[in-house]
Structure 1
């Protein structure tokens, strides 16, 4: 796969990701929910930290996380460029392109959304508010909206540790960028031999 094709995939995912986030941010107040199906809902939440809402403690935790993401995206970008240059497999290049696009999509939120939007607590956010955004550069929150509560109920009492507790599958709320990262990683894991055919041949030799 050429760098041009990989770039097209990245731009397409970024466009879908950012359009969906901006729409949600400018049409939903925090916590607003729309039921599409019983098992699929649009639920507006914001993630201040890493995956599953994990935060780095301390005054500069958010800044450190954003800077780490910027360094990581440069590494992923180099991996993509190097894979294309070395004529890596289409599976590998596709996977890295998906991971790059997803990481880049969430970085845009983290870097810019704090200055582009007002807060969403109890009301719909304003784009480019005159009074300034809800945060500063590098202190934005990632917009999530895809929620799949496929099953809700109490777990059987015989299950260790969590038996008898109320459980939702699938609980996390995520976005298009998260989906791209997850699909990219899944492709690498499931189709590892196709992604790294030379390594596979060396192991079989």
Structure 2
């Protein structure tokens, strides 16, 4: 795969990711939910940190995470460029790196800019390019919306640790960027030999 095609893939993922997030921010109040199917819901949440709604604690945790992401994206970007330039890397590897890069960059946009272009979503629909933004640069919140509670119920009493507790599978709420990252990592794991197989010159 050429670098141009890899960039096109990254661009398409970013466009879908940002359009979906902006739509949710400007059409949903924080915590609002719409049921598409009983196993699929659009549920608007925001998180301070890592992928799939997890968070990093501490006063400077958010800033540290955002700066770390920027450094990581630079490294992943170089990995993509180097893999394509060598001309021996498989398409599996190039696609995987491009997806991971797109996903990481998508969530970075939220973290860096959303705090200064949106107002608060907790009790109102957010306004894009608001005159009263909710945060500052590098302290924006990542928008998540896809929720797949495929099964909900009480676990059998005989199960150790979790027995008798209410359980939801799948409980994470995520976004397009998270899907891109997970898909890229999944390709590297599932197609490991093909991804890291060097083509003959």
Q: How would you bin the TM-score normalised by the shorter chain?
A: over 0.9
Distance change (3 Å), C-alpha of 1:52 and 1:98: closer
Distance in 1, matches of 2:186 and 2:99, equals 11
The residue that corresponds to 1:175 in the other structure is 175
- Structure 1: how far apart are the matches of 2:192 and 2:164? 39
Q: Is the 8 A contact 2:53 2:172 kept in 1?
A: no
SS in structure 2 of the partner of residue 98 of structure 1 = helix
- Equivalent residue for 1:105? 106
Distance in 1 of aligned mates of 2:55 and 2:41: 25
- SS of corresponding position for 1:153: strand
Moved over 6 A (4+): none
1:203: which partner in 2?
none
CA distance in 2, matches of 1:128, 1:115: 8
CA distance in 1, matches of 2:57, 2:43: 26
The residue number in structure 2 matching 1:155 is 155
What is the distance in 1 between the residues matched to 2:191 and 2:14? 24
Shift of 1:54: 3.4
The residue correspondences of 1:37-186 to structure 2 (distance < 5 A) are 37-87=37-87, 88-131=89-132, 133-186=133-186
- Equivalent pair of 2:53/2:174 in contact (CA under 8 Å): no
State the partner residue of 1:16: 16
Equivalent residue, structure 2, for 1:202: none
> What is the count of residue pairs matched by the alignment?
198
Distance apart, 1:58 and its partner CA: 2.5
**Cα distance in 2, alignment partners of residues 60 and 123 from structure 1:** 28
Shift of the alpha carbon at 1:57? 2.7
Structure 1-normalised TM-score? 0.94
Shift in alpha-carbon separation, 1:181–1:52, aligned structure 2, 3 A = closer
Q: Which runs of 5+ in 2 are unaligned?
A: none
Once residues 11 and 58 of structure 2 are traced to their aligned partners in structure 1, the CA distance between those partners, rounded to angstroms, is: 34
TM-score (normalizing by structure 2): 0.96
Q: How far 1:47 sits from its partner (Å)?
A: 1.0
Instruction: Give unpaired runs (5+ residues) of structure 1.
Output: 200-205
CA RMSD of aligned residues (A): 1.2
- Report the alpha carbon displacement of residue 52 of structure 1 after superposing the two structures with TM: 4.3
Partner residue, 1:191: 191
- Classify the secondary structure of the residue corresponding to 1:197: coil
Q: Matches of 1:171 and 1:32 in 2, distance apart?
A: 16
C-alpha deviation, 1:172, in angstroms: 0.4
1:10 to 1:52, Cα distance in 2 relative to 1, 3 A: closer
